C-alpha cells in the first residue's frame, strides 16, 4: 500500500527543485497534492504530473509572504477537501536570485535582509499558523525545510543563515506547542545542503565554469558528490507518513556528511 494513501498535502515552492520532487513523490505515494508557488506555469505542469497518480491534485498560487493568500488557501482546502494532513514549508530564497549583492553582516541592506526573512521565515511562520488551525481536529505532519545554514554561520549569506536558524527553532516551538495542546500534529525540520537544484545556478555559472565549480564544491563534501532533490523527498515521505509517528521537534540533516565534523585531518 502507498505510504501516503488518502492524505492531502500542501507543498510551498513546489514548481521546481526540491519542492517539485517532494510533490511528485508524495503523489506517487498516494497523497492528493496541492502544488503551490508563485511560478504559475511550472507549478501547473508539476500538478499535472501529480494528477496522473492522484487525480484531485492541483496547482494554486500561494505567495508564502502574504497572510491573505494563506487565509484563502485555508478556505479553499476546507471547502474542497475538508482537511489537510501534511504541510511542507519548502519555499525559500537565498537573496542572490537577482544577482550578487552583499549579504555579509557588515554590508547587507535592511531591505535585502528583510526580503530574505519575509520568504524564509515569515512564510514558515504563516504556514505553521494556518496548518495548526487546519489540522488540530484530526492531526497531521508539518515539515519545515531549513538548511545546514540554519545550524552553522554563513558569513556571506547572513540573512539566509539567520532565517534558516529561526526556522529550525520555530519548528521546535510548534512541535512542543502542538504536543502541549493535545493536537496530534508533529513538526520537524529538514536541513539539506548541496542539493543540485536551480537554486545553485547563480553560484555555479554555465558551461565549463559550471563543471569546474561543481568539481570544486564536490571536493569539499565528505561523500564527494552533490545530493539530488529525491534525497530530500524520501526523507519528507518518511516524516509525512505514520512511520514517523513518534518523531516531533527533530532536525534531520541531509548533507553528504558536511555537518558531521571538520574534514581537516592530520596528513601523512
Of 18 and 28, the one with the shorter C-beta distance to ligand NAD is: 18
Residues 6+ positions from 105 with CB-CB distance below 8 Å: 155, 158
Backbone angles phi, psi at 254, to 5 degrees: -135, 90
Contact string (CB under 6 A) for ligand NAD, positions 117-156, x = contact: --x-------------------------x-x---------
Task: Give residues 46-75 in contact with ligand NAD (rule: CB under 6 A).
Answer: 63-65
Is 160 annotated as catalytic?
yes
* Residue 37 binding ligand NAD, by CB under 6 A: yes
Of 202 and 268, the one with the shorter C-beta distance to ligand NAD is: 202
* Residue 199 binding ligand NAD, by CB under 6 A: yes
The 10 Å Cβ neighbour count of residue 207 is 7
**Angstrom distance (rounded) from CA 176 to CA 181:** 9
Q: Given candidates 4, 10, 11, 17, which one binds ligand NAD under the rule CB under 6 A?
A: 17
The CB-of-201 to ligand NAD minimum distance in angstroms stands at: 8
* Residue 34 binding ligand NAD, by CB under 6 A: no
- Which residue in the block uniquely carries the three cell numbers 505515494? 29
Task: Categorise residue 95: left if φ over 0, alpha if ψ from -120 to 50, beta otherwise.
Answer: left
Contact 90, 14 (CB under 8 A): yes
* Residue 7 binding ligand NAD, by CB under 6 A: no
Task: Give residues 157-196 in contact with ligand NAD (rule: CB under 6 A).
Answer: 192-195
# residues near ligand NAD by CB under 6 A: 27
Q: Given candidates 10, 11, 13, 175, which one binds ligand NAD under the rule CB under 6 A?
A: 13
The CB-of-74 to ligand NAD minimum distance in angstroms stands at: 16
Listed residue (129, 126, 123, 121) closest to 166, CA to CA: 121
Active-site residue, from 59, 130, 160, 246: 160
- Which residue in the block uniquely carries the three cell numbers 507518513? 241
Expressed in angstroms, the distance from the first to the final Cα of the chain is 53
58-61, strands of its sheet edge to edge: 58-61, 32-37, 8-11, 86-89, 140-145, 185-192, 251-254
Residues known to be catalytic: 160
| Residues found near ligand NAD in the complex (CB under 6 A) | 12-13, 15-19, 37-39, 63-65, 90-93, 119, 145, 147, 192-195, 197-199
Amino acid at each position: 500500500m502507498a505510504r501516503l494513501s488518502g492524505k492531502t498535502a500542501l507543498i510551498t515552492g513546489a514548481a521546481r527543485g526540491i519542492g517539485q520532487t517532494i510533490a511528485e513523490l508524495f503523489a506517487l505515494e498516494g497523497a492528493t497534492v496541492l502544488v503551490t508557488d508563485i511560478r504559475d506555469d511550472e507549478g501547473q505542469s508539476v500538478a499535472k504530473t501529480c494528477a496522473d497518480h492522484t487525480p484531485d491534485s492541483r496547482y494554486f498560487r500561494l505567495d508564502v509572504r502574504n497572510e491573505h493568500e494563506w487565509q484563502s488557501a485555508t478556505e479553499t482546502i476546507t471547502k474542497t477537501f475538508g482537511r489537510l494532513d501534511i504541510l511542507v514549508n519548502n519555499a525559500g530564497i537565498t537573496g542572490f536570485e537577482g544577482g550578487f549583492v552583499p549579504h555579509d553582516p557588515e554590508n547587507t541592506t535592511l531591505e535585502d535582509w528583510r526580503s530574505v526573512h519575509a520568504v524564509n521565515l515569515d512564510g514558515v511562520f504563516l504556514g505553521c499558523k494556518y496548518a495548526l488551525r487546519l489540522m488540530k481536529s484530526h492531526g497531521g505532519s508539518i515539515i519545515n525545510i531549513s538548511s545546514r545554514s540554519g545550524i552553522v554561520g554563513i558569513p556571506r549569506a547572513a540573512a539566509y543563515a539567520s532565517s534558516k536558524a529561526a526556522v529550525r527553532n520555530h519548528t521546535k516551538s510548534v512541535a512542543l506547542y502542538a504536543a502541549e495542546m493535545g493536537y496530534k500534529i508533529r513538526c520537524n525540520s529538514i536541513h539539506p545542503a548541496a542539493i543540485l537544484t536551480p537554486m545553485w545556478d547563480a553560484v555555479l555559472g554555465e558551461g565549463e565554469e559550471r563543471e569546474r565549480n561543481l568539481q570544486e564544491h564536490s571536493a569539499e563534501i565528505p561523500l564527494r558528490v552533490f545530493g539530488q532533490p529525491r534525497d530530500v523527498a524520501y526523507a519528507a515521505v518518511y516524516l509525512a507518513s505514520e512511520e514517523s509517528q513518534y518523531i516531533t521537534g527533530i532536525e534531520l540533516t541531509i548533507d553528504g556528511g558536511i555537518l558531521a565534523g571538520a574534514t581537516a585531518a592530520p596528513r601523512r
